[in-house]
Chain A
């Protein structure tokens, strides 16, 4: 497994890692509480409350929860459909929890895929995500253009027989930049997104537009540039006939000349990575 250069993380990266770990802990805690009959709204509220109790006051985006074929965004046409609904969880259903809390000014954006009960197909999807994680890191280290990497991920999905479902996200992004956010007492959200974070993203977009890069990693021309330094929340999302699976975690891109240091996953001690490593043993 490609490992993060964990030994000498700066204080800033440690801050991001802390909130990412907190988020995954939240996802695992909520996933463990999911029972048949729980609705998406309830699952989203459980995430919100869990994080609120631990000091989260602002969001990059508020928690999402998708159950059943909504994990593969079947028939999603408008962005409002991303918001949690009253769909109830049933035995055997896949689910995805997706949250992006801001904690002590650091942002994380994570996605956690699970399944209520055993489903070999869901296991397969999760296992196949590993190749995507490796591909993305490898090609970022090679400093390929983001658009090219996007297309390579797309091709890998097609070869695996899956549909690219991150295409359904706003602007079809596979990743977006995240950054520190100023802590304010008043932190409203707009369509589920924290205004502070949106402001940061907008300002990045403006600067990027002048300098020829974008904080959104998309299949479009504005992503036709090598990876820019900073933190990217990467979220490849597979869909297969009504079952979806994704992970989302922070990729650190630096300006180091050493390929190992030029890009790395912020943390390798995450549920999906542990799962692969356990499976490999």
Chain B
């Protein structure tokens, strides 16, 4: 009988050191082996979502750590869970499932803690091809981390110590005798699934399994047998002998991001990733994990890829590492990507290693954006033609993108057009056009791609390009400002609605940026084409003199996603107007009366 969610798994039992481990295998055994190690309090079923995704391409192996799930527990328990014994278990499983090829190790939580031991002790050398770690530091590295901070306690270091010290409350609890066991076998064990659902937002289902109380009770010895010993006397030689991919959930309640600050000195080949999620990423972000694990395994499997740049590391200079860590491999869709802010945004995501879909009415421009994006670091990029104001086209596009490339992780609704002129000179058709593109374009984008994001339930981010005109009124821009103010409010409302699903929504208010929008702006009330051209040229020249580059707006967009910001005014004038709109709205009203010279 296979465990919950591990349909079609082949099971075997591996005997080692007086106990029996329950090992499950999925996928073609001839493919590279990916070995998934679970954490505490868990059993191998925590990986079910990730394992089924990986099994399409790899030989996936999971096992219940001793004392967990359907593996037997050592007797006596005390002293039966040392990292040395866990290493024996790992070697026994690895030898059984992949006797002549090294395995790709993946660990979460305590599975990662013990995998760090595997990857840093000499006797496993040559048995591990790569290691992907999430939410579980090496106890030795952790010990050194504490030591350096205790011996030279600068205020920042003391802060880091106290921060992690507070997050580790459960470790102290687990060191008390008997009580944790009683709690787990009693009320805590019963309430745990609901707690996970509420606090960690883990989708309800067949996880956690029925073995939880026993797993958790036995697993307390993982802490008692190792934590004090290793933290007080960390090994000085805990260097990794395999490439490591570190995936750090930024919302982890138990582990500070700062724990990994010094990791570079322990791991010669380190790839960092960040994920806006809580602790249980194998349950909440299986798609992203499977993608990153797959990419990392492929990069360290094929001999041709060896010596090439490590997966996820920026190729180009000047790319901020935090962007590459966060956006590497993600699917990003940008509308209005044939020029201006949209194109610069597509390029910025491409440089960070994201896969980019560039959408625009201008097919040639979108294709060009995609082509250049591939040249600067996007592993894949596509140009798509669509008019954002056309509902059917957007629905078709959304279906096509989902079928061909998957659900988008970051959606940038950027397409917009300019319209200026007095209210009474603006015709209903002009009103309709500007609202169709600037507002309805955003609505269609959020409805189609946002719906896919929400349905997937694994987070994501939506960026809507509003404008400083959203809070700076002007007699010269009634229609444009109205459309952008609507986008701003739409973003705020949507942000509230989607917060529960870990989907962030940001509104970007750029201000005066040197892009092509001025060259296509419609001047309401100007019937003469030559006169309109003249005014467009003049506006372009003014914007050119201001010369605020769209690249800086793109950078602000990436930061907005990274930090999940709600409203981001970009240029100094936009920031100034944003502050004034709250402190001294009358000043903006006075400014709104100013009529720009024709």
Residues of A within 8 A of B (CB): 68-69, 74, 120-121, 124, 158-161, 163, 240-242
Q: Is the CB of A121 within 8 A of B368?
A: no
B372 within 8 A of A: yes
Query: Which listed residue, B339, B372, B516, touches A240 by the CB 8 Å rule?
Result: B372
Question: Per-position contact with A for B329-344: 1 when CB-CB < 8 Å, else 0?
Answer: 0000000000100010
- A residues within 8 A CB of B107? none
Q: Is the CB of B372 within 8 A of A158?
A: no
Q: Is the CB of A161 within 8 A of B376?
A: no
- A residues within 8 A CB of B551? 241
Q: Is the CB of B317 within 8 A of A161?
A: no
- In the bound complex, what is the Cα–Cα distance between A160 and B347 (angstroms)? 13
Given contacts A69-B318, A121-B376, A158-B516, A241 and B347 within 8 Å (CB-CB): yes
Q: Is the CB of A241 within 8 A of B351?
A: yes
Shortest C-beta distance, B192 to chain A (Å), equals: 49
- B residues within 8 A CB of A120? 375
Given contacts A161-B369, A241-B347, A121 and B317 within 8 Å (CB-CB): no
Q: Is the CB of B339 within 8 A of A158?
A: yes
- B residues within 8 A CB of A159? 339, 365, 368
B316 within 8 A of A: yes
Question: Per-position contact with A for B369-380: 1 when CB-CB < 8 Å, else 0?
Answer: 100100110000
Q: Is the CB of A124 within 8 A of B317?
A: no
Q: Is the CB of B339 within 8 A of A241?
A: no
Given contacts A120-B375, A158-B339, A158-B516, A242 and B369 within 8 Å (CB-CB): no
- A residues within 8 A CB of B317? 68-69, 242
- In the bound complex, what is the Cα–Cα distance between A120 and B347 (angstroms)? 16
- In the bound complex, what is the Cα–Cα distance between A68 and B318 (angstroms)? 11
Shortest C-beta distance, B210 to chain A (Å), equals: 55
| A159-B365, A163-B549, A241-B316 given; 9 more Cβ-contact pairs under 8 Å | A124-B375, A159-B339, A161-B343, A161-B369, A240-B372, A240-B376, A241-B318, A241-B351, A242-B316
- A residues within 8 A CB of B369? 161
Top-10 shortest CB links A-B: A121-B375, A161-B372, A242-B318, A120-B375, A124-B375, A161-B368, A161-B343, A241-B376, A121-B376, A242-B317
Shortest C-beta distance, B536 to chain A (Å), equals: 12
A-B contact pairs, 25 of them (CB 8 A): A69-B317, A69-B318, A74-B318, A120-B375, A121-B375, A124-B372, A124-B375, A158-B339, A158-B516, A159-B368, A160-B368, A161-B343, A161-B369, A161-B372, A163-B549, A240-B372, A241-B316, A241-B318, A241-B347, A241-B351, A241-B376, A241-B551, A242-B316, A242-B317, A242-B318
Nearest chain A residue, comparing its CB with the CB of B362: A159
- A residues within 8 A CB of B343? 161
Residues of B within 8 A of A (CB): 316-318, 339, 343, 347, 351, 365, 368-369, 372, 375-376, 516, 549, 551
Nearest chain B residue, comparing its CB with the CB of A242: B318
- A residues within 8 A CB of B375? 120-121, 124
Nearest chain B residue, comparing its CB with the CB of A161: B372
Nearest chain A residue, comparing its CB with the CB of B315: A92
Shortest C-beta distance, B363 to chain A (Å), equals: 13
- In the bound complex, what is the Cα–Cα distance between A134 and B365 (angstroms)? 21
The dominant DSSP class at the B interface is: helix
- In the bound complex, what is the Cα–Cα distance between A158 and B344 (angstroms)? 11
Shortest C-beta distance, A115 to chain B (Å), equals: 13
Shortest C-beta distance, B290 to chain A (Å), equals: 30
Shortest C-beta distance, A277 to chain B (Å), equals: 23
- In the bound complex, what is the Cα–Cα distance between A163 and B350 (angstroms)? 17
- B residues within 8 A CB of A74? 318
Nearest chain A residue, comparing its CB with the CB of B537: A151
- In the bound complex, what is the Cα–Cα distance between A68 and B347 (angstroms)? 19
- A residues within 8 A CB of B372? 124, 161, 240
Nearest chain A residue, comparing its CB with the CB of B516: A158
- B residues within 8 A CB of A124? 372, 375
- B residues within 8 A CB of A240? 372, 376
- A residues within 8 A CB of B365? 159
Shortest C-beta distance, B534 to chain A (Å), equals: 14
- A residues within 8 A CB of B376? 121, 240-241
- In the bound complex, what is the Cα–Cα distance between A264 and B318 (angstroms)? 40
- A residues within 8 A CB of B347? 161, 241
Nearest chain B residue, comparing its CB with the CB of A68: B317
- B residues within 8 A CB of A160? 368
Shortest C-beta distance, B546 to chain A (Å), equals: 14
Shortest C-beta distance, A47 to chain B (Å), equals: 25
Nearest chain B residue, comparing its CB with the CB of A219: B544
Shortest C-beta distance, B548 to chain A (Å), equals: 13
- In the bound complex, what is the Cα–Cα distance between A184 and B240 (angstroms)? 68
Shortest C-beta distance, B336 to chain A (Å), equals: 14
- B residues within 8 A CB of A241? 316, 318, 347, 351, 376, 551
- In the bound complex, what is the Cα–Cα distance between A163 and B372 (angstroms)? 13
Nearest chain B residue, comparing its CB with the CB of A240: B372
Nearest chain B residue, comparing its CB with the CB of A125: B375
Most chain A CB neighbours (cut-off 10 Å) among B351, B368, B376, B549: B376
- In the bound complex, what is the Cα–Cα distance between A62 and B340 (angstroms)? 37
- In the bound complex, what is the Cα–Cα distance between A61 and B103 (angstroms)? 61
Shortest C-beta distance, A244 to chain B (Å), equals: 13
Shortest C-beta distance, A53 to chain B (Å), equals: 35
- A residues within 8 A CB of B316? 241-242
Nearest chain A residue, comparing its CB with the CB of B318: A242
- In the bound complex, what is the Cα–Cα distance between A163 and B515 (angstroms)? 11
- B residues within 8 A CB of A68? 317
- In the bound complex, what is the Cα–Cα distance between A98 and B225 (angstroms)? 68
Shortest C-beta distance, A127 to chain B (Å), equals: 11
- B residues within 8 A CB of A69? 317-318
- In the bound complex, what is the Cα–Cα distance between A68 and B316 (angstroms)? 11
- In the bound complex, what is the Cα–Cα distance between A225 and B365 (angstroms)? 32
Nearest chain A residue, comparing its CB with the CB of B350: A241
- In the bound complex, what is the Cα–Cα distance between A160 and B338 (angstroms)? 10
- In the bound complex, what is the Cα–Cα distance between A120 and B368 (angstroms)? 15
- In the bound complex, what is the Cα–Cα distance between A74 and B343 (angstroms)? 19
- In the bound complex, what is the Cα–Cα distance between A141 and B488 (angstroms)? 50
- In the bound complex, what is the Cα–Cα distance between A260 and B347 (angstroms)? 40
Nearest chain A residue, comparing its CB with the CB of B348: A241
Nearest chain A residue, comparing its CB with the CB of B515: A158
- In the bound complex, what is the Cα–Cα distance between A266 and B510 (angstroms)? 45
Nearest chain A residue, comparing its CB with the CB of B375: A121
- A residues within 8 A CB of B318? 69, 74, 241-242
Shortest C-beta distance, B472 to chain A (Å), equals: 26
- In the bound complex, what is the Cα–Cα distance between A69 and B317 (angstroms)? 9
- In the bound complex, what is the Cα–Cα distance between A124 and B375 (angstroms)? 9
- In the bound complex, what is the Cα–Cα distance between A89 and B516 (angstroms)? 36
- In the bound complex, what is the Cα–Cα distance between A240 and B368 (angstroms)? 13
- In the bound complex, what is the Cα–Cα distance between A241 and B375 (angstroms)? 11
Shortest C-beta distance, B314 to chain A (Å), equals: 12
Shortest C-beta distance, A129 to chain B (Å), equals: 15
- A residues within 8 A CB of B351? 241
Shortest C-beta distance, B539 to chain A (Å), equals: 14
